[in-house]
A = this chain, B = another copy of it.
Amino acid sequence: MTAYDELIAFTRETEALAQVQGRLGWDQETVMPRGAATQRGDEMAALEGVLHARRTDPRVADWLAAASDGGDPVRAAMLRHITRSHARNTKVPASLASELARVTSVAQGVWAGARAADDTAAFLPVLSQVVALRQQEAACLAGEGTLYDALMDDYEPEASASKTAAMFDRMRPRLVALRDAVLGAPTPPALTGSFAAEGQMALARLLATTFGYDFTRGRLDLAVHPFSSGSGADVRITTRVAADDPFNCLYSTIHEVGHACYEQNIDPDFALTPLGQGVSMGVHESQSRIYENQLGRSRAFSGWLFGQMQAQFGGLSVGDADALYAAINRVTPGYIRTESDEVQYNLHIMMRFDLERALVGGDLAVADLEGAWNDRFAADFGVVVDRPSNGVLQDVHWSVGLFGYFPTYTLGNVYAGCLHQTLRGDLPDLDAQLAQGDLQAATGWLRDRVQRPGGLHSPADTVAAACGFAPSEGPLLDYLEAKFRALYRL
């Protein structure tokens, strides 16, 4: 065996164990008996120890030093990913990695309790620990760059905070103008009624199949928070059901199907290698968003969905497809990011991005975070936060140390805007297809252009290759303005 072959064989085993870890995570969120939580913690810690040892194994450095890509782009990409991952893992001392795992595990529980009790003070001490540990970790990784860039790089390789900030600054005025105009117009009626769980799940399964999800290599279950889990031949999704709001179930499903199809559609030759998973959080989110929003919340698709919902639930409070389209695209003031609409969503991200950069950079003390959040929310949304669970405590991310992750949501929207523009150009009959519930051409285009290469190219190159141009915010903003100006008759 050559050094390259030995390295890949070792890496494949590591990736297989990482899939096992993912499967345990799925189990924990869906089927695990509640009394098993403590033992599961021990099981996860043991597996994490095995993975950490493999990811920092000194043989990897030796194999990397001896391996050659022989001019082959797939081999070059493999070596690039393994080099990058090994460097990140070996730069962080094992004691720090283990302390981070321990503290974030505790912090997530503290956060959940604090949010339930609307008690920010109960959360801040452990959040200070998390911030300090992530700062230490970032210092190990940052080199010449900023601490925040070092963290963001984990989720979106080759992204930079300064370029992201500049893009957000360009986006903000148009988003604010659109939001203000929309909120100044009459709000269309919401869908009301009570919708049986079985009917919602039947429709969720139909939507998953319609959007190309392969149930022979996956499954759909209920969980508190919808997610997609796993790569390759075992990619599972979850959704949730609220009797008075079927859109929660249906659009969560389409969103997770976007993530899952990305994983299912990667070249099978890349399975259980570093190329065999979505290339970045931003590109991942571009798939979930374009499935959910540009396709799933389109006027054309609303027509098909209206018929399906009528068939499943009988008469609806919204009388026709136009009214359904308006209901699934309602823009209303609100505190909660995850309940936000396409127009306001990115404004929620931008304020988190600024706050977390200030936290990580040391310009904002954890003790001052809640005040900063509330001031910023009032400035950006014109609403006073009424309680912490509607404010600084609403998201799990910071409790588990996910600093640098939030901007990838908006990057995903930006990528989705670019992809959608090119997709529309390539598929002139798309609306006619969507009106028939026929997603094959659209999801096939995304599969071949974006999903299949997996980690072969960089995130930005992946999107650029699919679009034919370097990604920028313009197409997303053009799309949002056109859609919501028409819908709200502005």
Contacts and interface: CB of A to CB of B under 8 A. Distances in A.
Interface of A: 12-14, 16-17, 19-20, 23-24, 27, 31-40, 42-43, 45-47, 49-50, 214-219, 232-234, 236, 271-272
B36 A234 contact: yes
B216 A39 contact: no
Contact of A17 (B33, B37, B50): B50
Main SS class of interface, A: helix
A38 B214 CA distance: 16
Among A17, A218, A271, A272: residue with most chain B CB under 10 A:
A17
A216 B34 contact: yes
A386 B306 CA distance: 59
A233 B41 CA distance: 11
> Which 7 A-B pairs rank lowest in CB-CB distance, beginning with the nearest?
A36-B234, A16-B46, A35-B217, A35-B216, A39-B233, A13-B46, A16-B43
Contacts of A49: 13
Nearest to A43: B16
A17 B43 contact: yes
Contacts of A36: 217, 233-234
A45 B27 CA distance: 20
Contact of A234 (B39, B46, B216): B39
A217 B33 contact: yes
Nearest to A38: B233
B233 A31 contact: no
Contacts of A271: 39
Given A39-B232, A39-B271, A233-B38, A20 B20 contact: yes
A46 to B, nearest CB: 4
Nearest to A30: B31
A273 to B, nearest CB: 11
Contacts of A34: 216
A272 B39 contact: yes
A421 B256 CA distance: 57
B31 A234 contact: no
A233 B217 CA distance: 29
A269 B236 CA distance: 35
B42 A272 contact: yes
20 contacts: A12-B42, A13-B45, A16-B43, A16-B45, A17-B43, A17-B47, A19-B43, A20-B43, A20-B46, A20-B47, A23-B24, A23-B27, A23-B43, A33-B216, A33-B218, A33-B234, A36-B217, A36-B234, A38-B233, A40-B233
